[in-house]
Amino acid sequence: IDNDVDFIDRSFGFQTAVEAAQAGIRTAKTEAMCNVPNGIGIIKLMGRSAGFLASYAALGSGDVDLVLIPEVPIQLDGPDGILPFLRTRIHEQKYAVVVVAEGAGEELLGVSEELDAGGNRARPKIGEFIRDQISNHFESFGEVATIKYIDPSYTVRSVPANGYDSLYCTQLSQNAVHGAMAGVTGFSTGLVGNKMVYLPIPLLVASSPRVMNPYGRTYERILAMTVIPFV
CA distance 210 to 6: 5
Say which residues have a Cβ less than 8 Å from residue 111's Cβ, sequence separation at least 6: 121
Whether 2 is a known active-site residue: answer yes
Q: In degrees to the nearest 10, what's the CA dihedral of 193, 160, 21, 28?
A: 160
Output DSSP code: residue 64: -
Say which amino acid occupies 33: M
Q: Summarize the chain as % helix, strand, coil (round to 5).
A: 45, 15, 40
Burial call 151-176: b when 16+ CB within 10 Å, e when fewer: bbeeebbebeebeebeebeeebeebb
Inter-helix orientation angle 217-226/52-61, to 10°: 50
CA distance 36 to 39: 5
CB 71, CB 212: distance < 8 Å? yes
Catalytically active residues, by annotation:
2
